[in-house]
Amino acid sequence: MKVIWAIMFYVLQPLLWLGILMTYMNYKKRIKNERKWFTSSIYIDFFEGRHFLRSALILGLIGSLVGLALGMVLPIKFILVYELIMVILLLMRQSLSIVGVCLSVAALFFTKNLGFWGSINNVLSDKGINERFFNFDNANFLIFFTLLIFLTGIFIKQNAGKFTSPEITYNQRRKRIAYYQFNELSIVPIFTLVPGDWFVNHLAFWPVFDVNHHHYAFLFFPVLIGFKWTVKHAIPSKLFKSLSRGIIQTGLIGIVGIIGSYFYPIISIWAILIMLINYLRVIISNKHTDNKTDFDYSQVINGVRIIAIQPHTPASKMNLLIGDVILEVNHIKINNEDDLYRALSTNSTYCYLKVIDRNNQLKVTETAIFKDSPSELGIETFAEKD
């Protein structure tokens, strides 16, 4: 029964519901953009919601078990400040999980130096919350920060680059260019121990542990795991694979730091700084890779550029990738979208394509197509409309 109360407390958290709302708004925005530029939605499926739920379950379990194994203890002050800052970031339509936790620690540091918590500590001490309830040592922050880095890397690996929905802009020559934005998040329930006597004194139903005559309540608190990234030149799936690998490797630095901090506590500070620097290095390096890639998802004069492939269509079964340019359809040369659909209509059950990929390599592919809808190959191109 006590565990049920703890779960209900998590479900009532405003950060959770804001995360759900943000996920739905991201979905509606994507659908609106797809319908603006194309005949219909490319991915009608609410995959953002599916990723939100799957990540909450899987990453929540991983994070909770690892946090418990490492003995993570978070004071209520940090949890409250963290949730407040994350709520503000979500209200600003930002899902910056790593930035949010850094802002939370910075807020605690500066408000402590300004004496902000002094009067609050006195009031809460009268309510049964002792000073130890507020202590937040570097070792526990290192554990939490390491968890956050690892979970972010796993989140990107699981979800980014799987659904490449294009957005359209114009370059200086008024030529259309596609780019691909990943903007997803999840609110992950992380189990942590919270030191103090307040739960014992005021919430008799709450799950509490007694370790060496010290009380620890257990709490599931919502942790924002999210990432926003725009790919303009590189192959999204490959770039996100590199990005996730670099972030996960950054988490390994935290593991080494956690082990070392048990023997030399000062190591925890250096591990946090090295992790943060390496995280920024990974971000900058992959952004540089994208910017330096000599390729644009742009309109072409000869042929038709593929900028999206709809799932469960004939095109999804062919050897086609975003960025490919279709030169011939059913042995007919094409220059625009109208040519493409006229050539497709010459055979109602079969399609032959000659394609040049982003490396200027020719390839040929063929497939059966829908008999009742011969024009529904399942690719999206730059439609001839303003």
pLDDT in tens, 339-379: 888 888 888 778 889 999 999 999 998 887 765 554 578 88
Alpha carbon of residue 108 to chain centroid: 26
Task: Report yes or no: 105 and 145 within 8 Å, Cβ to Cβ.
Answer: no
Whether pTM > 0.85 for this model: the answer is yes
What is the bridge-based pairing of β-strands 297-298 and 325-329? unpaired
Calculate ∠ Cα 138-142-148, nearest 5°. Answer: 145
Q: What angle do CA 382, 313, 237 make, to 5 degrees?
A: 65
CB atoms inside a 10 Å sphere around CB 362: 9
The amino acid sitting at 317 is: K
Q: Is 177 exposed, middle or buried (0-12, 13-18, 19+ CB in 10 A)?
A: buried
Tell me: pLDDT of 133 over 60.
Answer: no
Judged on CB neighbours under 10 Å (0-12, 13-18, 19+), 210 is exposed
- Per-residue pLDDT reduced to its tens digit, 273-332: 999 999 999 999 999 999 999 999 998 888 999 999 988 888 888 888 999 999 999 999
Question: What residue spans in the chain does CATH classification 2.30.42.10 cover?
Answer: 299-380
pLDDT at residue number 132 = 43
Q: What is the pLDDT of residue 122?
A: 55
Burial 63-98 (b: 16+ CB within 10 A, else e): bbebbeebebbbbbbbbebbbebbbebbeeebbbbb
Predicted local distance difference test score (pLDDT) of residue 167: 92
For residue 2, what pLDDT band results from cuts at 50, 70 and 90? low
Q: 369-382 in b/e burial notation, b at 16+ Cβ within 10 A?
A: beeeebeebbbbbb
- Residue 65: what residue type? L
Buried b (16+ CB within 10 A) or exposed e, 144-173: bbbbbbbbbbbbbbbbbbebbbbbbeeeee
Q: In CATH, what is the architecture of 299-380?
A: Roll (2.30)
- Concatenated DSSP letters for 71-102? T-B--HHHHHHHHHHHHHHHHTT---HHHHHH
What distance in Å separates the CA atoms of residue 300 and residue 247, rounded to the nearest whole number? 36
Least confident of 88-92, 110-114, 194-198: 110-114
**181 CB burial (10 A radius; 0-12, 13-18, 19+):** middle
Cα 1 to chain center, whole Å? 34
b (16+ CB within 10 A) / e for 21-36: ebbeebbeebbebbee
Is the distance from CB of 384 to CB of 349 less than 8 angstroms? Answer: no
